[in-house]
Amino acid sequence: MTPFPGRSAASAGPAHAHSVDRLLTRRLDEALARPAAQQPCWPDPERASAVIERLRHAEPIVAPDETARLSEQLASVARGEAFLLQGGDCAETFVDNTETHLRANLRILSQMATVLTSATGVPVVEIARMAGQYAKPRSAVVDASGLPVYRGDIINSTEPTPTARTPDPQRMLRARAHAADAMDMVRRIRAGAAHISHEMLLLDYERAGLWADACGPGTRLTSGLAHFLWIGERTRQLDGAHVAVAELIANPIGLKLGPSVTPELAVEYVERLDPHCTPGRLTLVSRMGHHLVRDVLPPIVEKVTASGHQVVWQCDPMHGNTRQSANGFKTRHVDHVVDELAGFFEVHRGLGTHPGGIHVEVTGEDVTECLGGASGTAERDLPARYRTACDPRLNADQSLELARFVAELLTT
Ligand code: PEP
Ligand code: MN
């Protein structure tokens, strides 16, 4: 593989490698020249460029054969033969990049997977939100105290001071080192069988993680930063850079779809991001909110299905159900999360399509961030162990309850 834009293999390789490389470089440059939402304004662009150049020389974190294996597994999900379980922190942080935390999150994911497979007999494909989930899209540019918002550890710090909130490109190098360490730990803990994912948000970072094998006209770019990348609700503009970059890369891609997406727009996305009709190449992640999913999702599923593309239909029951508690915490109620899942299954059962998977924010730690569940977490309990750097996660008990609920939905 060749770091992209190519150096060694492209210059030493066959003559066509040069033109492949030039063509891809041009297409990538064009993609990156499009408007990109949610990017930081680096105070010193020259320092940022120097960091990007250093990132380009870093070793990839994931191997292409692992990514190819995941693509095959996602094809089986798209065909209705398997179920996709994706989950982890909303925002990973450098300080929590410890073996204890990663073990806890991997453990809850595998316990959820066990609940699902043992109840249904259906194979479960697991993807962790891990080893790179450091960049966050935000709905406001300043926080309640007027400071620039926290945009994830890869950009700035949660600490509420003007200096700490100033975007610092050096953090991209720290993020890359943490991601590599995390991946090493994941491989040790999981003895090789792990897939990792993050939101493809910060384009200065993402572009420096692209590789090309430079061995033919069909060459695509592959991200060495994660097996699976997704585009968020706030960066899915059709004429924007994120969609254009995703078109160029071979990794399986996820796309979050909120309630404003029309069936026609969904089909445009599918045609752009799955031009060769490859089953499982694209995962459509609906995050409609529990009160809208039953109305908004059916025409989208119908129109995409009629287009002939075999996507993975995945439900994110978290992001459409976020609210502020009376005592000032960003939270979600388990009842709403569960209701969105029930709606998602109802829609797919009604249309005869496969409810392919779930995408959840969970941690194996005993946090108090989401309301409800068997332990009855109430608003007054939230301050006790509210630890997330961004959105509220289900704790271990709430996550297992959710898995049992989904297992029931899958068997009825
Ligand atoms: C997320 O997954 O953390 C996220 C920000 O989701 P969305 O883009 O759907 O809001
Ligand atoms: Mn989130």
- Per-residue pLDDT of 68-111, as tens digits, reads 999 999 999 999 999 999 999 999 999 999 999 999 999 999 99
Q: Are 128 and 183 in contact (CB under 8 A)?
A: no
Question: How far, CA to CA in Å, does 11 sit from each of 2, 20, 236?
Answer: 10, 11, 35
pLDDT (mean) for 335-347: 98
Residue type, 111: Q
Residue 381: DSSP 8-state: G
Collapsing DSSP states into helix, strand and coil, what is residue 276? coil
d(CA 376, CA 392): 16
In this model, does residue 137 exceed pLDDT 60? yes
Q: Give the distance, in angstroms, between the CA of residue 18 and the centroid of all CA atoms in the same chain.
A: 33
pLDDT of the residue at 15: 38
Q: Which helix (H) or strand (E) segment is 222 a member of? A: strand 221-223
Contact residues of ligand 1, CB 6 A cut-off: 90, 137, 199, 232-234, 256, 287, 316, 319, 391
pLDDT of the residue at 14: 37
Ramachandran angles phi, psi of 129, nearest 5°: -85, 90
In this model, does residue 17 exceed pLDDT 60? no
Question: How far, CA to CA in Å, does 305 sit from each of 77, 95, 267, 313, 387?
Answer: 15, 43, 9, 11, 40
Ligand 1 centroid distance, CA of 167 (Å): 20
d(CA 375, CA 195): 31
Name the residue among 153, 106, 155, 137 with its Cα closest to residue 256: 137
pLDDT of the residue at 220: 82
Collapsing DSSP states into helix, strand and coil, what is residue 342? helix
pLDDT of the residue at 203: 98
Q: pTM here?
A: 0.95
Higher pLDDT, 6 or 186: 186
Q: Which residue's alpha carbon is nearest to atom 1 within ligand 1?
A: 90
Q: Which residue's alpha carbon is nearest to atom 9 within ligand 1?
A: 233
Least confident range from 1-10, 235-244, 369-378: namely 1-10
Q: For the sheet containing 210-212, what is the strand order?
A: 2-3, 210-212, 221-223
Mean pLDDT of the chain: 94
Q: Where are the beta strands (DSSP E) in 52-188?
A: 83-88, 124-129
> pLDDT digit string (tens) for 149-195?
999 999 999 999 999 999 999 999 999 999 999 999 999 999 867 89
**Helix extents (H) in 275-323:** 293-306
pLDDT of the residue at 376: 95
In this model, does residue 9 exceed pLDDT 80? no
Neighbours of 50 (CB within 10 A): 13
Q: Which of the four pLDDT bands, split at 50, 70 and 90, describes residue 200?
A: very high
Annotated binding residue 233: yes
pLDDT of the residue at 224: 97
Ligand 1 centroid distance, CA of 233 (Å): 6
Q: 216: Cβ–Cβ under 8 A, 6 or more apart, which residues?
A: 16, 20
Q: Which of the four pLDDT bands, split at 50, 70 and 90, describes residue 10?
A: very low
Q: Where are the beta strands (DSSP E) in 232-378?
A: 253-257, 282-286, 312-315, 323-324, 330-331, 357-361
Residue tagged 């054969």 (tokens): 65
Annotated binding residue 256: yes
Annotated binding residue 340: no
Which residues have beta carbons under 5 A from ligand 2 (an ion)?
Answer: 90, 391
Mutating to test ligand 1, I would choose from 229, 233, 285, 360 the residue with most ligand atoms within 8 A of its C-beta, which is 233
pLDDT of the residue at 176: 98
Residue 60: DSSP 8-state: P
Q: Which of the four pLDDT bands, split at 50, 70 and 90, describes residue 2?
A: low
pLDDT (mean) for 39-47: 97
